[in-house]
Structure 1
Amino acid sequence: MSLPLICVTLTGCTVDEMVKDAARATAVGADIVEVRLDKLWVIEQEKKPDEDIKSDNDDNKKSVYIPPEFIPQSIDSVDLDSSLVSFRTGIELPVILTCRPERQGGYFPGDEKERINVLTKAIKSGVSWIDLELDIDPKQREKLVKLAGENTKIISSNHFDRLPSSPDEIIDEINEFSEMGDIIKIVYNTDGKKDALKLFDVAWRTKNSENKLAIMGIGAGGDWTRIHAPLLNQSIVYTTMENGWYLAQQGRINTSDLKTAWKLLEYN
């Protein structure tokens, strides 16, 4: 059974923070890292990760995760050219460069024209992989694909801000996207077992597809297809170097925990 690529989405909102996280990812045996360029344009507002809350009807305290707040900054606050050089020289592993728009859950504060300019510079930097959303204007997307050529591979992604529809509808969508990238990445919100089973069903039914796929959820149950990615013939699995009980509720998984799970499940 072949194993998918393990990709670590780097944490942090500065070049230095991401480069340091990339070194940790290299140390645990990741295959590739994702740099979220859009996060360079935000400042993370530190919050206490766990807070004890006691309800009126319950004397027992329970931990509640409070996610950080990301404060957007001006476009000219980032020296993109210098940042791209630092990523190229400071990260040993192959890199996916992503600049996620707000419409797909990202943080880039500028307009689409400015974001296309970021993606253009990212490709010209000679990066191994570029993430291009499937909803980019077709003419603009075609230009970016042509610019990528054979040197930069393409993750064609779509982050749906809704719960998964029926498996048949999702498979139809995947088939529509089949020629649009080297790997098709499909992400839905998940809210428990019912949604997780839909995505697992989609991944199971497409495991012998000619398309290289990465199907996952954000939310409770979203990590099912990540944990069982080798069985489902997924091409790449996104992980994090973060640790915490809250990761499962977000559908995410720590890189070392994923590798341990694969070993216990005898996937490797």
Structure 2
Amino acid sequence: MRKLFWTVFLRTAAVFLAFWALMAGVISFRSLDAREASLRAEIRETLDWNLMNCQLVLEGTAAAVEKPALLADRMPACSPVAGSMGVFRIYDLDGTELARSPLTSGYFSLPGTGVYDYFLHFDPVLTDDEQLALARLLRADKDLCAFYGAEGGLYGEGDVDRPGLYGEVTGVVEHNVVYPQKLVYYFADGPLTLLDTDSAYFEGKTLTTLAFDAARLQSPLIWSDDPPELALQLFRQAQARVDSLVGSRGPSASWVGAVEGGAGYAHCG
């Protein structure tokens, strides 16, 4: 009797475990499928929003030399709210690249102007290790992504526990873009250096120092739920996918292509 009991019990347990494993697999698959569909929808929504904003820049009255920076600023690679990351590029109808999503970027306002009309381009300057070092600093204190100085009344109260005075950026200035070599926030209790690089990018170039009273910094390395090293790896993979999609020629008005893989997909049209 005991032998029969254990035989029936073990068979029943095996059937139950097999059924449980099957249901767990189905639920996991459906959950992953739903998440993938959600991410695709988020990227599509972001793409549509970016295109609309880029169209406003292209049709706007800003000087032609200033529009590339404005376009890049309208195509951020990260969406902190959605928790997703996308790499975007925009081309004209002849296939000439106009701008691409930066990895780390920012913008700042000259003292007293109340307008964020200068842009920080870190990507041409920093190595991946320097990108990660800056990201770790900002991840440790995300309040540093938004700086408000003594003229902060134009923007809000700022950090009342550590009131800002002003900021300074030293780098190569081209029109409305600064390629930063050094970036410092000045507070009442002393300066905080966010960046000070000896990058070869600056060899033989003229450096200019600009003061600002407000600045914003952004990067998927800062806001990603993943470690910054993994976020950087995924960003580089996304760049490679777009490179693979576009190839040696830019897309045209009638050109459509796509490439997919485990880490994401690229689409152009």
TM-score normalised by the chain length of structure 1? 0.25
* Greater fraction strand: 2
* Greater fraction helix: 2
TM-score normalised by the chain length of structure 2? 0.25
